[in-house]
Amino acid sequence: MKILVIGGAGYIGSATSAYFIAAGHKVIIYDNLSHGYRDAIPPDVPFVQGDICDRAALDAAFSAHQPDAVAHFAALIEAGESMTNPGIFFHNNVVGAITLLDVMTQHNVKRMVFSSTAAVYAGKDAPLSEDDPIGPASVYGETKLMIERTLRWYHRVHGLHYCALRYFNAAGAMLDGAGQALRGEAHQPESHLIPLTLQVPLGKRESISLFGADYPTPDGTCIRDYIHIEDLASAHVSALDALDTHEEMIYNLGNGRGYSNREVIDVARQVTGHQIPVVETDRRPGDAPILVASAEKINRELGWRPNHPDLRDIIASAWAWHKSHPDGY
Ligand SMILES: NC(=O)c1ccc[n+]([C@@H]2O[C@H](COP(=O)([O-])OP(=O)(O)OC[C@H]3O[C@@H](n4cnc5c(N)ncnc54)[C@H](O)[C@@H]3O)[C@@H](O)[C@H]2O)c1
Protein backbone atom coordinates (compact mmCIF):
# COMPACT_ATOMS: atom_id res chain seq x y z
CA MET A 1 0.00 0.00 0.00
CA LYS A 2 1.12 3.59 -0.59
CA ILE A 3 0.87 5.55 2.68
CA LEU A 4 1.03 9.31 3.06
CA VAL A 5 2.53 9.83 6.53
CA ILE A 6 1.51 13.24 7.82
CA GLY A 7 3.90 14.43 10.54
CA GLY A 8 6.38 11.72 9.53
CA ALA A 9 9.44 13.85 10.34
CA GLY A 10 8.55 13.73 14.03
CA TYR A 11 9.42 11.27 16.77
CA ILE A 12 6.71 8.63 16.36
CA GLY A 13 5.89 9.26 12.69
CA SER A 14 9.48 8.70 11.55
CA ALA A 15 9.84 5.45 13.51
CA THR A 16 6.47 4.21 12.22
CA SER A 17 7.46 5.11 8.65
CA ALA A 18 10.48 2.81 9.01
CA TYR A 19 8.14 0.04 10.20
CA PHE A 20 5.72 0.59 7.31
CA ILE A 21 8.63 0.29 4.87
CA ALA A 22 9.91 -2.86 6.58
CA ALA A 23 6.40 -4.32 6.22
CA GLY A 24 6.56 -3.78 2.44
CA HIS A 25 4.58 -0.53 2.11
CA LYS A 26 5.59 2.58 0.17
CA VAL A 27 5.80 5.77 2.26
CA ILE A 28 5.63 9.46 1.38
CA ILE A 29 6.15 11.93 4.22
CA TYR A 30 4.33 15.25 4.51
CA ASP A 31 5.44 17.56 7.33
CA ASN A 32 5.87 21.30 7.83
CA LEU A 33 9.06 20.67 9.89
CA SER A 34 7.74 22.97 12.63
CA HIS A 35 8.71 20.29 15.16
CA GLY A 36 10.20 17.56 12.96
CA TYR A 37 13.56 16.90 11.33
CA ARG A 38 14.55 16.20 7.76
CA ASP A 39 17.22 13.82 9.10
CA ALA A 40 14.63 11.73 10.97
CA ILE A 41 13.05 10.69 7.65
CA PRO A 42 14.15 7.21 6.57
CA PRO A 43 16.54 7.23 3.57
CA ASP A 44 15.04 7.41 0.05
CA VAL A 45 11.54 8.31 1.29
CA PRO A 46 9.88 11.07 -0.80
CA PHE A 47 9.31 14.16 1.34
CA VAL A 48 6.85 17.01 0.85
CA GLN A 49 7.29 20.04 3.09
CA GLY A 50 3.81 21.42 3.73
CA ASP A 51 1.25 22.30 6.36
CA ILE A 52 -1.98 20.40 7.06
CA CYS A 53 -3.86 23.68 7.17
CA ASP A 54 -2.71 24.40 3.59
CA ARG A 55 -5.40 22.80 1.47
CA ALA A 56 -3.72 23.56 -1.86
CA ALA A 57 -0.42 22.01 -0.75
CA LEU A 58 -2.23 18.89 0.52
CA ASP A 59 -4.22 18.66 -2.71
CA ALA A 60 -1.00 18.83 -4.75
CA ALA A 61 0.61 16.11 -2.60
CA PHE A 62 -2.39 13.80 -3.02
CA SER A 63 -2.44 14.42 -6.80
CA ALA A 64 1.29 13.82 -7.14
CA HIS A 65 1.53 10.70 -4.96
CA GLN A 66 -1.98 9.15 -5.06
CA PRO A 67 -1.81 7.44 -1.66
CA ASP A 68 -4.07 4.52 -0.66
CA ALA A 69 -4.02 5.47 3.02
CA VAL A 70 -3.02 8.21 5.44
CA ALA A 71 -1.25 7.88 8.78
CA HIS A 72 -1.88 11.16 10.59
CA PHE A 73 0.68 12.08 13.29
CA ALA A 74 0.89 15.86 12.78
CA ALA A 75 -0.14 17.87 15.82
CA LEU A 76 1.02 20.30 18.43
CA ILE A 77 1.57 18.02 21.39
CA GLU A 78 2.39 20.03 24.50
CA ALA A 79 -0.51 19.75 26.93
CA GLY A 80 0.95 22.45 29.19
CA GLU A 81 1.24 25.01 26.40
CA SER A 82 -2.29 24.18 25.24
CA MET A 83 -3.55 25.53 28.58
CA THR A 84 -1.99 28.94 27.96
CA ASN A 85 -2.45 29.22 24.20
CA PRO A 86 -5.50 27.13 23.25
CA GLY A 87 -6.22 28.84 19.92
CA ILE A 88 -3.15 27.56 18.13
CA PHE A 89 -3.95 24.01 19.29
CA PHE A 90 -7.54 24.12 18.04
CA HIS A 91 -6.37 25.62 14.77
CA ASN A 92 -3.37 23.39 14.08
CA ASN A 93 -4.81 20.12 15.34
CA VAL A 94 -8.54 20.36 14.61
CA VAL A 95 -8.74 22.68 11.60
CA GLY A 96 -5.67 20.91 10.19
CA ALA A 97 -7.25 17.45 10.60
CA ILE A 98 -10.54 18.57 9.01
CA THR A 99 -8.65 20.10 6.07
CA LEU A 100 -6.77 16.82 5.66
CA LEU A 101 -9.99 14.77 5.85
CA ASP A 102 -11.64 16.95 3.22
CA VAL A 103 -8.71 16.55 0.84
CA MET A 104 -8.75 12.78 1.47
CA THR A 105 -12.47 12.73 0.66
CA GLN A 106 -11.91 14.75 -2.50
CA HIS A 107 -9.25 12.24 -3.61
CA ASN A 108 -11.32 9.23 -2.57
CA VAL A 109 -8.76 8.05 0.01
CA LYS A 110 -10.75 6.03 2.55
CA ARG A 111 -8.23 4.77 5.11
CA MET A 112 -6.72 6.62 8.04
CA VAL A 113 -4.71 5.66 11.11
CA PHE A 114 -4.81 8.54 13.58
CA SER A 115 -2.58 9.40 16.57
CA SER A 116 -4.90 9.93 19.50
CA THR A 117 -3.92 10.01 23.14
CA ALA A 118 -4.60 8.88 26.70
CA ALA A 119 -5.26 12.57 27.39
CA VAL A 120 -8.85 12.09 26.12
CA TYR A 121 -9.73 10.14 29.31
CA ALA A 122 -10.97 11.53 32.59
CA GLY A 123 -8.47 9.24 34.35
CA LYS A 124 -8.99 6.69 37.14
CA ASP A 125 -7.04 4.49 39.54
CA ALA A 126 -7.26 1.31 37.47
CA PRO A 127 -6.15 0.58 33.88
CA LEU A 128 -8.36 2.45 31.41
CA SER A 129 -10.31 0.61 28.77
CA GLU A 130 -11.68 2.28 25.66
CA ASP A 131 -15.18 2.49 27.20
CA ASP A 132 -14.04 4.38 30.30
CA PRO A 133 -15.26 7.93 30.85
CA ILE A 134 -13.90 10.56 28.52
CA GLY A 135 -12.98 13.93 30.00
CA PRO A 136 -9.81 15.63 28.78
CA ALA A 137 -7.94 17.64 31.40
CA SER A 138 -6.26 19.79 28.73
CA VAL A 139 -7.05 21.62 25.50
CA TYR A 140 -4.57 19.27 23.82
CA GLY A 141 -6.66 16.24 24.87
CA GLU A 142 -9.83 18.04 23.79
CA THR A 143 -8.43 18.61 20.28
CA LYS A 144 -7.74 14.89 19.91
CA LEU A 145 -11.23 14.02 21.12
CA MET A 146 -12.72 16.47 18.63
CA ILE A 147 -10.79 14.77 15.83
CA GLU A 148 -11.93 11.29 16.98
CA ARG A 149 -15.54 12.52 16.87
CA THR A 150 -14.96 14.04 13.43
CA LEU A 151 -13.58 10.71 12.20
CA ARG A 152 -16.80 9.01 13.32
CA TRP A 153 -18.86 11.40 11.17
CA TYR A 154 -16.56 11.06 8.14
CA HIS A 155 -17.04 7.31 8.48
CA ARG A 156 -20.79 7.68 8.59
CA VAL A 157 -21.08 10.29 5.83
CA HIS A 158 -18.15 9.45 3.52
CA GLY A 159 -17.40 5.79 4.31
CA LEU A 160 -13.95 6.53 5.80
CA HIS A 161 -12.32 3.51 7.48
CA TYR A 162 -10.26 4.68 10.44
CA CYS A 163 -8.32 3.54 13.46
CA ALA A 164 -7.69 5.98 16.31
CA LEU A 165 -4.79 4.78 18.46
CA ARG A 166 -4.79 6.28 21.94
CA TYR A 167 -1.12 6.24 22.88
CA PHE A 168 -0.17 6.46 26.49
CA ASN A 169 3.37 7.86 27.03
CA ALA A 170 5.56 7.21 24.01
CA ALA A 171 9.17 6.65 25.05
CA GLY A 172 12.44 5.04 24.06
CA ALA A 173 14.43 5.00 20.86
CA MET A 174 14.71 2.86 17.76
CA LEU A 175 17.99 0.91 17.68
CA ASP A 176 19.60 -1.07 14.87
CA GLY A 177 20.68 -4.71 15.29
CA ALA A 178 24.03 -3.58 16.74
CA GLY A 179 22.37 -1.41 19.41
CA GLN A 180 23.12 1.88 17.63
CA ALA A 181 20.34 4.45 18.05
CA LEU A 182 18.65 5.42 14.77
CA ARG A 183 15.72 7.57 15.87
CA GLY A 184 14.69 9.07 19.17
CA GLU A 185 13.02 11.88 20.99
CA ALA A 186 14.16 15.42 20.06
CA HIS A 187 11.15 17.57 20.91
CA GLN A 188 11.80 21.32 20.99
CA PRO A 189 10.96 22.33 23.61
CA GLU A 190 11.09 18.99 25.44
CA SER A 191 8.32 18.38 27.98
CA HIS A 192 8.50 14.59 28.44
CA LEU A 193 9.84 13.13 31.65
CA ILE A 194 12.33 10.56 30.32
CA PRO A 195 14.30 12.82 27.92
CA LEU A 196 14.23 15.67 30.46
CA THR A 197 15.56 13.34 33.17
CA LEU A 198 18.34 12.09 30.88
CA GLN A 199 19.43 15.69 30.26
CA VAL A 200 20.83 15.67 33.82
CA PRO A 201 23.45 12.92 33.26
CA LEU A 202 24.14 14.50 29.85
CA GLY A 203 25.17 17.67 31.71
CA LYS A 204 22.41 19.77 30.11
CA ARG A 205 20.51 20.52 33.30
CA GLU A 206 21.32 20.45 37.00
CA SER A 207 18.22 18.61 38.21
CA ILE A 208 14.84 17.27 37.15
CA SER A 209 11.65 19.03 38.28
CA LEU A 210 8.78 17.04 39.73
CA PHE A 211 5.59 18.96 38.98
CA GLY A 212 3.49 18.11 42.01
CA ALA A 213 4.38 15.68 44.81
CA ASP A 214 0.94 15.83 46.44
CA TYR A 215 -1.13 13.77 44.00
CA PRO A 216 -3.34 10.99 45.43
CA THR A 217 -0.81 8.29 44.48
CA PRO A 218 1.45 6.11 46.71
CA ASP A 219 4.50 8.42 46.41
CA GLY A 220 2.57 11.62 45.60
CA THR A 221 3.76 11.87 41.98
CA CYS A 222 1.81 11.25 38.78
CA ILE A 223 1.64 7.72 37.40
CA ARG A 224 1.97 7.03 33.68
CA ASP A 225 2.16 4.04 31.36
CA TYR A 226 5.26 4.16 29.09
CA ILE A 227 5.16 2.47 25.71
CA HIS A 228 8.19 1.90 23.51
CA ILE A 229 8.01 3.68 20.13
CA GLU A 230 8.84 0.44 18.32
CA ASP A 231 5.73 -1.10 19.90
CA LEU A 232 3.69 1.92 18.82
CA ALA A 233 5.12 1.55 15.32
CA SER A 234 4.21 -2.14 15.06
CA ALA A 235 0.66 -1.37 16.22
CA HIS A 236 0.26 1.05 13.28
CA VAL A 237 1.26 -1.68 10.84
CA SER A 238 -1.40 -3.98 12.36
CA ALA A 239 -4.01 -1.19 12.36
CA LEU A 240 -3.37 -0.31 8.74
CA ASP A 241 -3.76 -3.95 7.66
CA ALA A 242 -7.00 -4.22 9.65
CA LEU A 243 -8.61 -1.25 7.85
CA ASP A 244 -9.56 -3.60 4.99
CA THR A 245 -11.92 -5.52 7.25
CA HIS A 246 -12.60 -3.17 10.20
CA GLU A 247 -14.35 0.11 9.44
CA GLU A 248 -14.03 1.87 12.82
CA MET A 249 -11.45 1.10 15.46
CA ILE A 250 -10.36 2.85 18.65
CA TYR A 251 -7.58 1.20 20.67
CA ASN A 252 -5.43 2.03 23.65
CA LEU A 253 -1.69 1.48 23.27
CA GLY A 254 0.14 0.97 26.54
CA ASN A 255 1.71 -1.74 28.67
CA GLY A 256 -0.96 -1.93 31.37
CA ARG A 257 1.57 -1.05 34.06
CA GLY A 258 2.02 2.40 35.55
CA TYR A 259 5.19 3.97 36.94
CA SER A 260 5.27 7.05 39.13
CA ASN A 261 7.50 9.94 38.14
CA ARG A 262 9.78 9.07 41.05
CA GLU A 263 10.04 5.45 39.87
CA VAL A 264 10.98 6.62 36.36
CA ILE A 265 13.74 8.80 37.78
CA ASP A 266 14.99 5.88 39.90
CA VAL A 267 15.24 3.62 36.84
CA ALA A 268 17.04 6.42 34.95
CA ARG A 269 19.51 6.59 37.86
CA GLN A 270 20.14 2.83 37.57
CA VAL A 271 20.57 2.95 33.79
CA THR A 272 22.89 5.98 33.73
CA GLY A 273 24.73 5.56 37.05
CA HIS A 274 24.05 9.26 37.78
CA GLN A 275 22.34 10.40 40.99
CA ILE A 276 19.97 12.80 39.13
CA PRO A 277 18.92 15.40 41.72
CA VAL A 278 15.19 16.19 41.96
CA VAL A 279 13.47 19.52 42.66
CA GLU A 280 9.82 19.41 43.72
CA THR A 281 7.66 22.20 42.29
CA ASP A 282 3.96 23.02 41.92
CA ARG A 283 1.52 20.96 39.91
CA ARG A 284 1.06 21.87 36.23
CA PRO A 285 -2.47 22.53 34.96
CA GLY A 286 -3.83 19.70 32.81
CA ASP A 287 -1.99 16.75 34.44
CA ALA A 288 -4.25 13.83 35.47
CA PRO A 289 -2.93 11.92 38.53
CA ILE A 290 -2.98 8.43 36.96
CA LEU A 291 -3.16 7.30 33.32
CA VAL A 292 -2.57 3.60 32.72
CA ALA A 293 -3.83 1.65 29.69
CA SER A 294 -5.60 -1.58 29.30
CA ALA A 295 -4.45 -2.69 25.84
CA GLU A 296 -6.52 -5.85 26.08
CA LYS A 297 -8.84 -4.81 23.21
CA ILE A 298 -6.16 -4.41 20.51
CA ASN A 299 -4.53 -7.61 21.73
CA ARG A 300 -7.81 -9.51 21.44
CA GLU A 301 -8.94 -8.00 18.12
CA LEU A 302 -5.68 -7.48 16.20
CA GLY A 303 -3.28 -9.76 18.09
CA TRP A 304 -0.93 -6.86 18.92
CA ARG A 305 1.20 -7.03 22.05
CA PRO A 306 4.23 -4.98 23.13
CA ASN A 307 7.69 -6.51 22.61
CA HIS A 308 9.50 -3.99 24.85
CA PRO A 309 7.33 -3.63 27.96
CA ASP A 310 10.17 -3.30 30.46
CA LEU A 311 10.77 0.29 31.63
CA ARG A 312 14.49 -0.37 32.06
CA ASP A 313 14.77 -1.42 28.38
CA ILE A 314 12.77 1.62 27.31
CA ILE A 315 15.01 4.00 29.27
CA ALA A 316 18.19 2.17 28.19
CA SER A 317 17.24 2.65 24.52
CA ALA A 318 16.47 6.33 25.17
CA TRP A 319 19.84 6.69 26.90
CA ALA A 320 21.62 5.09 23.90
CA TRP A 321 19.91 7.68 21.66
CA HIS A 322 20.64 10.73 23.81
CA LYS A 323 24.27 9.76 24.42
CA SER A 324 24.91 9.34 20.69
CA HIS A 325 22.76 12.36 19.67
CA PRO A 326 23.10 14.84 22.54
CA ASP A 327 21.84 17.69 20.34
CA GLY A 328 19.14 15.68 18.59
CA TYR A 329 19.23 15.30 14.81
N1 LIG B 1 4.82 11.63 22.25
C2 LIG B 1 3.85 11.09 22.98
O3 LIG B 1 4.08 10.61 24.08
C4 LIG B 1 2.44 11.06 22.45
C5 LIG B 1 1.42 10.53 23.27
C6 LIG B 1 0.13 10.49 22.78
C7 LIG B 1 -0.16 10.95 21.50
N8 LIG B 1 0.85 11.46 20.73
C9 LIG B 1 0.51 11.96 19.40
O10 LIG B 1 1.37 11.34 18.47
C11 LIG B 1 1.63 12.23 17.38
C12 LIG B 1 3.12 12.32 17.15
O13 LIG B 1 3.75 12.78 18.34
P14 LIG B 1 5.33 12.99 18.39
O15 LIG B 1 5.76 12.79 19.79
O16 LIG B 1 5.98 12.21 17.31
O17 LIG B 1 5.41 14.55 18.08
P18 LIG B 1 6.42 15.35 17.15
O19 LIG B 1 6.26 16.80 17.47
O20 LIG B 1 7.78 14.76 17.22
O21 LIG B 1 5.84 15.06 15.69
C22 LIG B 1 4.77 15.78 15.15
C23 LIG B 1 5.14 16.13 13.73
O24 LIG B 1 4.03 16.84 13.13
C25 LIG B 1 4.54 17.95 12.42
N26 LIG B 1 3.48 18.95 12.37
C27 LIG B 1 2.88 19.60 13.40
N28 LIG B 1 1.96 20.45 12.96
C29 LIG B 1 1.94 20.32 11.61
C30 LIG B 1 1.19 20.95 10.58
N31 LIG B 1 0.30 21.90 10.85
N32 LIG B 1 1.42 20.58 9.30
C33 LIG B 1 2.36 19.63 9.01
N34 LIG B 1 3.11 19.03 9.94
C35 LIG B 1 2.90 19.37 11.23
C36 LIG B 1 5.77 18.42 13.20
O37 LIG B 1 6.68 19.16 12.40
C38 LIG B 1 6.35 17.08 13.66
O39 LIG B 1 7.29 16.57 12.73
C40 LIG B 1 0.97 13.55 17.74
O41 LIG B 1 -0.26 13.64 17.06
C42 LIG B 1 0.74 13.44 19.24
O43 LIG B 1 -0.38 14.18 19.65
C44 LIG B 1 2.14 11.54 21.17
Residue spans per domain, the chain: 2-170+226-253, 174-224+257-324
User: Which residue in 169, 149, 303 sits closest to 239, CA to CA?
Assistant: 303
Ligand 1 midpoint to CA 233 (Å) = 14
Q: State the fold for domain 174-224+257-324.
A: UDP-galactose 4-epimerase; domain 1 (3.90.25)
Nearest CA residue ID for atom 35, ligand 1: 74
Alpha helices, H only, the chain: 11-22, 55-65, 79-82, 86-89, 96-106, 139-158, 193-198, 229-242, 261-272, 296-302, 311-324
Ligand 1 midpoint to CA 78 (Å) = 9
Nearest CA residue ID for atom 7, ligand 1: 117
Ligand 1 midpoint to CA 218 (Å) = 32
Q: What's the confidence (pLDDT) of residue 213?
A: 94
Q: What's the confidence (pLDDT) of residue 11?
A: 97
CB 283 within 8 A of CB 238: no
53: left (phi over 0), alpha (psi -120 to 50) or beta: alpha
For ligand 1, whether the C-beta of 55 sits within 6 Å is no
For ligand 1, whether the C-beta of 111 sits within 6 Å is no
Query: Residues with Cβ < 8 Å from 261, sequence gap 6 or more?
Result: 193, 210, 221, 222, 223, 224
Nearest CA residue ID for atom 43, ligand 1: 77
Nearest CA residue ID for atom 11, ligand 1: 73
For ligand 1, whether the C-beta of 241 sits within 6 Å is no
For the segment(s) 2-170+226-253, the CATH number from 3.20.20.150, 3.40.50.970, 3.40.50.2300, 3.40.50.720 is 3.40.50.720
For ligand 1, whether the C-beta of 52 sits within 6 Å is yes
Q: What's the confidence (pLDDT) of residue 225?
A: 96
Q: What's the confidence (pLDDT) of residue 152?
A: 98
Helix (H/G/I), strand (E/B), else coil: 117:
strand
- Each residue's pLDDT tens digit in the chain (329 positions)? 999 999 999 999 999 999 999 999 999 999 999 999 999 999 899 999 999 999 999 999 999 999 999 999 999 999 889 999 999 999 999 999 999 999 999 999 999 999 999 999 997 888 999 999 999 989 999 999 999 999 999 999 999 999 999 999 999 999 988 889 999 999 888 889 999 999 999 999 999 999 999 999 999 999 999 999 999 999 999 999 999 999 999 999 999 999 999 999 999 999 999 999 999 999 987 678 898 999 999 999 999 999 999 999 999 999 999 999 998 88
Q: What's the confidence (pLDDT) of residue 179?
A: 86
For ligand 1, whether the C-beta of 48 sits within 6 Å is no
For ligand 1, whether the C-beta of 262 sits within 6 Å is no
Q: Do domains 2-170+226-253 and 174-224+257-324 have the same CATH topology?
A: no
Query: At CA 300, angle to CA 295 and CA 304, rounded to 5?
Result: 65
Q: What's the confidence (pLDDT) of residue 125?
A: 81
Q: What's the confidence (pLDDT) of residue 302?
A: 97
Nearest CA residue ID for atom 21, ligand 1: 10
Report the alpha-carbon distance of residue 164 to residue 148 in Å, rounded: 7
Q: What's the confidence (pLDDT) of residue 62?
A: 98
Ligand 1 midpoint to CA 131 (Å) = 25
Q: What's the confidence (pLDDT) of residue 187?
A: 86
For ligand 1, whether the C-beta of 16 sits within 6 Å is no
Helix (H/G/I), strand (E/B), else coil: 213:
coil
The Cα-based distances of 31 to 151, 153, 245 in angstroms read: 21, 25, 29
For ligand 1, whether the C-beta of 208 sits within 6 Å is no
Q: What's the confidence (pLDDT) of residue 177?
A: 86
Q: What's the confidence (pLDDT) of residue 323?
A: 95
Active site annotation includes 162:
no
Q: Which of 11, 19, 121, 140 is catalytic?
A: 140
